[in-house]
């Protein structure tokens, strides 16, 4: 049998040319904090990158991971504000947590496989007592399904491979644990806690204390330090806005330290402060202050210069803005 490919003079049609892309819009130096109400299903970094593109921002970062399972407050920092993201990382957090009583899972949340189902036969008094026992300083063992690193790898990588890693307990503080709603297997709690608290572990510990088991069925971050999700914008709303309107959601670059004492400096002292020189001040020792200088135009108001602390009558710089960042803030105020 002849298996040769028959010759043809026909020319295969060329694929249609792609339409030319429009010019890429330039990035811009923005400075400030945007409070995002993150939706369920997005990682913190995915949410950050989408907002960064919407604002055409040059430099951006978030203030701590919020799992894809969770929704709620995610402060995003841009430009000069990224230097102070640690403040929000270290702040107390507030959550609205929904627990499914009577069921334990491999991951401690609704995405894992069911390990055991038990009947829920508890009274409100027992639930209140269990919440009270978990309030205050407690020790938590971080869950295997978490981003905590062990020998350079996230714990969830080991968990997916079926491996269990020994984890040391960590001391955290549960400031408040209030019952919002309770109907049969569904328990809704308001949680106010220190940084580093794993709410899914808290849910498992509560289920263990009640004798029926539990897992975290839903989580929404409602606050971080003085910031509230009530003041946040959703990603959907942000995408529907014109670009100029999106920028109006940016809070000042000093928003994360707005509750620190403010120290104003005259022009000559402000310049020296920005070089890192210590300044004599008539102030008591203070662990953290925010420092301002006058606007170079002579207009009323002040420009944020950075953070410092006061020790034995000296103002000692901690995080300083660069000249370009200070100029950017001046331009945004003019």
Q: Are 47 and 75 in contact (CB under 8 A)?
A: no
Tell me which of 2, 9, 46, 67 is the catalytic residue.
67
Confidence at 8, pLDDT banded by 50, 70, 90: very low
| Per-residue pLDDT at 223 | 96
Q: Is residue 11 part of a domain?
A: no
209 and 309 part of one domain? no
The CATH code of the domain that includes 309 is: 2.30.130.60
**Tens-digit pLDDT profile for residues 241-273:** 998 999 999 999 999 999 999 999 999 999 999
- Per-residue pLDDT, averaged over 171-184, amounts to 96
| Per-residue pLDDT at 24 | 67
231 and 164 part of one domain? no
**What is the DSSP track for 118-158?**
------HHHHHHHHHHTSEEEEEPPPSSS--EETTEEHHHH
Task: Domain count for the chain, please give it.
Answer: 3
Q: In Å, how far are 6, 107, 204 from 208, measured between CA atoms?
A: 75, 15, 6
Confidence at 146, pLDDT banded by 50, 70, 90: low
Confidence at 18, pLDDT banded by 50, 70, 90: low
The distance of Cα 188 from the centroid of its chain, to the nearest Å, equals 22
| Percentage of the chain lying above the pLDDT 70 cut | 90
- Per-residue pLDDT, averaged over 146-154, amounts to 71
| β pairing state of 286-294 and 262-264 | parallel
Q: Is residue 241 part of a domain?
A: yes
Which has more confidence, 286 or 296? 286
86 and 231 part of one domain? yes
120 and 206 part of one domain? yes
- Per-residue pLDDT, averaged over 303-307, amounts to 97
Q: Are 306 and 289 in contact (CB under 8 A)?
A: no
| Per-residue pLDDT at 3 | 38
**Tens-digit pLDDT profile for residues 192-237:** 999 999 999 999 999 999 999 999 999 999 999 999 999 999 999 9
134 and 189 part of one domain? yes
52 and 117 part of one domain? no
| Per-residue pLDDT at 7 | 36
Of 180, 36, 185, 170, nearest to 110 by C-alpha is 185
DSSP character at residue 109:
B
Q: What is the mean pLDDT of the chain?
A: 89
Torsion-angle region of 18 (φ positive above 0: left; ψ -120 to 50: alpha; else: beta) = beta
123 and 148 part of one domain? yes
**Tens-digit pLDDT profile for residues 57-98:** 999 998 878 889 999 999 999 999 999 999 999 999 999 999
pLDDT at residue 157 greater than cutoff 90: no
Q: Containing domain of residue 309, as a range? A: 260-333
201 and 278 part of one domain? no
| Per-residue pLDDT at 65 | 82
pLDDT at residue 310 greater than cutoff 90: yes
Confidence at 23, pLDDT banded by 50, 70, 90: low
| Percentage of the chain lying above the pLDDT 90 cut | 72
Assess whether 67 carries a catalytic annotation. Answer: yes
Q: Is residue 21 part of a domain?
A: no
Q: Is residue 304 part of a domain?
A: yes
214 and 116 part of one domain? yes
pLDDT at residue 112 greater than cutoff 50: yes
pLDDT at residue 1 greater than cutoff 70: no
């Amino acid at each position: 049998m002849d298996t040769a490919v028959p010759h043809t003079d026909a020319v295969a049609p060329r694929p249609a040319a792609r339409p030319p892309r429009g010019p890429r819009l330039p990035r811009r130096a923005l400075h400030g904090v945007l409070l995002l109400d993150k939706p369920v299903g997005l990682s913190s970094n995915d949410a950050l990158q989408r907002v960064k593109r919407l604002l055409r921002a040059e430099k951006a970062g978030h203030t701590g991971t919020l799992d894809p399972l969770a929704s709620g407050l995610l402060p995003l920092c841009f430009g000069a504000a990224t230097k102070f993201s640690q403040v929000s990382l270290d702040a107390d957090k507030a959550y609205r947590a929904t627990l499914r009583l009577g069921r334990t899972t491999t991951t401690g949340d609704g995405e894992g496989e069911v390990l055991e189902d038990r009947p829920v036969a508890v009274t409100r008094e027992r639930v209140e007592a269990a919440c009270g026992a978990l309030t205050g300083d407690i020790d938590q063992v971080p869950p295997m399904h978490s981003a905590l690193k062990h020998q350079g790898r996230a714990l969830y990588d080991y968990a997916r491979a079926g491996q269990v890693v020994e984890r040391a307990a960590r001391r955290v503080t549960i400031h408040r644990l209030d019952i919002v709603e309770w109907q049969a297997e569904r328990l809704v709690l308001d949680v106010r806690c220190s940084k580093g608290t794993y709410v899914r572990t808290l849910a498992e510990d509560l289920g263990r204390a009640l004798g029926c088991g539990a897992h975290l069925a839903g989580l929404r971050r409602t606050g971080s330090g003085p910031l509230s999700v009530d003041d946040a914008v959703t990603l959907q709303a942000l995408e529907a806005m014109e670009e100029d309107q999106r920028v109006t959601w940016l809070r000042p670059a000093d928003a994360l330290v707005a509750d620190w004492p403010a120290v104003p400096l005259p022009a000559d002292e402000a310049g020296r402060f920005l070089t890192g020189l210590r300044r004599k001040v008539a102030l008591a020792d203070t662990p953290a202050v925010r420092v301002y200088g006058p606007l170079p135009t002579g207009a009323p108001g002040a420009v944020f210069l950075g953070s410092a602390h006061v020790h034995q009558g000296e103002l000692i710089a901690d995080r300083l803005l660069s000249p370009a960042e200070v100029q950017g803030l001046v331009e945004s105020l003019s």
